[in-house]
Amino acid sequence: MTHPAFIPGRTAVITGAASGIGLAAARRFVAMGLNVVLADRSADGLRAAAASLGSNAIRTEVIDVAQPEELVRLQAAAVASFGEVNVLLNNAGVGDNPGKPWENPQGWRDLLGINLSGIVNGVQAFVPAMLAQAGPAVVVNTGSKQGITLPPGNSAYNVSKAGVKAFTELLAHELRQVAPGRVTAHLLVPGFTFTGLTGKPEKPVGAWTGDQVVDVLVEGVERGDFYLWCIDNETTRALDMKRVAWGAGDLIENRPALSRWHPDHAEAFAAFIKS
């Protein structure tokens, strides 16, 4: 059965909609008969995205998700155009690497302002009206496996996505208390996906496409899943879950932080994965 928020004539708002997962979601939502509001900080990207969709039920808004007042403006524009908002995909994000935890304070603030605060800003701008309206509503926040398994290499990005995970879990719990089943929150967890953040001109063999990620999003929301977990062409779900379980074991067994990459635990981790 189609989720009631995805019925033709409903309205979806997508941030980071000019490319990647956001644009793939826009294509899917248009095909499902939804009105779609595309938001991005790239005016040129939005124009190209809207033209590619070939739908009259489209509105574009240039916004910076790090600025809360711009999300408020986006919400007002969506309601003015289409009435109540039924799907909010907080997807805008950047993959910049500002450096180690003690480096580049402004770079850290900039990344967290988009990847984490941008999602908080979106929820705070849209959810009060979603709770007040009569129709169903779905909030999907784009996280990342890196916010769960925390692979070394880009600490700021990992921190931002770990924050998105915690924020969305708490949001889902709170919504269950005040609007059980009518307004829900979900965490989209992409793996290796070919987007503008990939930094490659062609899709790597191991990467999924944005369309494959959106398949998981739509099917998972329709099942009522909270964790919209994606695999890719390099990993299986079983391997992902092993990695997640090992990370939880660091706390339970008081191992060194991120022991998966600690030389003293390399052999034990390898044996755990094989077991």
Q: Give Cα 88 to chain centroid, integer Å.
A: 11
> Residue 231 — left, alpha, or beta (φ > 0 → left; ψ -120 to 50 → alpha)?
beta
The mean pLDDT value of the chain amounts to 96
What confidence tens digit (pLDDT) does each residue in 198-226 have? 556 788 999 999 999 999 999 999 999 99
* DSSP H or E stretch at residue 12: strand 11-15
Average of per-residue pLDDT across 27-42: 97
Distances (CA, A) of 145 to 72, 95, 164, 220, 230: 29, 13, 11, 16, 9
Is residue 235 predicted with pLDDT exceeding 60? yes
What confidence tens digit (pLDDT) does each residue in 99-112 have? 999 999 999 999 99
Average of per-residue pLDDT across 4-13: 97
Average of per-residue pLDDT across 19-43: 97
Retrieve residue 219's tokens. 């099917």
pLDDT-above-70 percentage for the chain = 98
What DSSP state is assigned to residue 260?
G
pLDDT of residue 56: 87
pTM score of the predicted model: 0.96
Q: Tell me if 15 sits within 8 A of 46, measured CB to CB.
A: no
Helix residue ranges, H only, the chain: 20-31, 43-53, 68-82, 105-115, 117-132, 146-149, 155-178, 210-223, 237-252, 266-274
pLDDT of residue 22: 97
pLDDT of residue 151: 97
What confidence tens digit (pLDDT) does each residue in 52-92 have? 998 889 999 999 999 999 999 999 999 999 999 999 999 99
Retrieve residue 65's tokens. 């998700």
Beta bridge partners of 87: 12, 138
Q: Give catalytic residue positions.
A: 157
pLDDT of residue 2: 84
Is residue 196 predicted with pLDDT exceeding 90? no
> How far is 140 from 104, CA to CA, in rounded Å?
30
Is residue 45 predicted with pLDDT exceeding 70? yes
pLDDT-above-90 percentage for the chain = 94
What confidence tens digit (pLDDT) does each residue in 106-159 have? 999 999 999 999 999 999 999 999 999 999 999 999 999 999 999 999 999 999
* Nearest of 6, 26, 8 to residue 17 by alpha carbon: 26
The full set of domains in the chain, from first to last, is 4-235 (3.40.50.720), 236-275 (no CATH)
* Nearest of 183, 83, 171, 186 to residue 136 by alpha carbon: 183
In the block, tokens 């022991």 appear at 259
Sign of dihedral through CA atoms 207, 265, 229, 96?
negative
Retrieve residue 83's tokens. 């009435």
Q: Tell me if 142 sits within 8 A of 190, measured CB to CB.
A: yes
pLDDT of residue 201: 72
How confident is residue 197, by pLDDT bands cut at 50, 70 and 90?
low
Retrieve residue 80's tokens. 């003015």
State whether residue 41 is helix, strand or coil.
coil
